[in-house]
Amino acid sequence: MSFAKFDLTGKRALVTGGGDGLGREFTEALLDSGAEVVICSRRADFIDEVVRDISKSYSSISGTTCDITKYEEVLDLVNRIGKIDILVNSAGLSHRAAWPVPQSKDWQRIMTLNVEAPFWLSQLLMPAMIERSWGRVINISSICGLISGNPAHLPGLGVDMPSYYASKHALIGLTRFLATQVATTGVTVNAICPGPFDSPANREYFSPGPMLDALVTGIPMERIGAEGELRTAIQFLAAPGSSFVTGQSIVVDGGTTVW
């Protein structure tokens, strides 16, 4: 296959949560493939700092502020940023609380960010993609959207994140639903489900020690994911050459969900 099938030159992407952690991996992967990328965050100072840093290596990066849990701000964002060919819904949070604990407010906050905001952005950006007969929507779910987790692999931490598990399962359901709705239009909708990865947010849990030792016993590769190992997944799903792939969840987890 020609490398042109992976070339995103002339395409424009929006990556929510694209300034840090795995979101920054996705941003840089799309830039590597030739796309122009817009990232957004609630914090203007943070987004400005990230853009300055990424601009040292890439020229086609810009940033803007938006709290994507507020529909009015999402609508304003879409009106401001113009044409988007690739939407990456990467922003997400988890909330830790045992399931019997009342948590309605936190539950709603997680659901709004992890599920409703991706739906809003898809609703607002996909019609123009359909008009152009080309578009990519990539939702960042998790293996927590496929399995319920084994607390034995997380000693001292456990899996007390009911809203996170529910939201990531819901995001996969939304991915499949939207994929069927636009399947004949040239727009594809897929998800990426990362397993345990080294990232700033995870480092306090996955540093060398008993927890990491227990975690990797549930991973056939016997290690967590490293920097750069998610890039090709998003490059593939965003690529022109993936035009017959839709409604899928690409799992990048070292084999965790095989067992």
Catalytic residues: 164
Q: How far apart are the C-alpha atoms of 186 and 94, rounded to whole Å? A: 33
| Range 40-45 contact pairs with CB under 8 angstroms and sequence separation of 24 or more | 40/14, 40/15, 40/16, 40/64, 40/65, 40/66, 40/68, 40/77, 41/17, 41/65, 41/66, 42/66, 42/67
Rg (CA), the chain: 18
Q: How far apart are the C-alpha atoms of 15 and 18, rounded to whole Å? A: 5
Q: How far apart are the C-alpha atoms of 191 and 167, rounded to whole Å? A: 13
CA pseudo-torsion sign 247, 39, 71, 187: negative
Backbone phi and psi for residue 35, each to the nearest 5 degrees, phi listed first: -75, 155
Q: How far apart are the C-alpha atoms of 28 and 162, rounded to whole Å? A: 31
Both tokens of 16, joined, read 């929510």
The answer to whether 64 touches 87, Cβ cutoff 8 Å, is no
Q: How far apart are the C-alpha atoms of 109 and 233, rounded to whole Å? A: 28
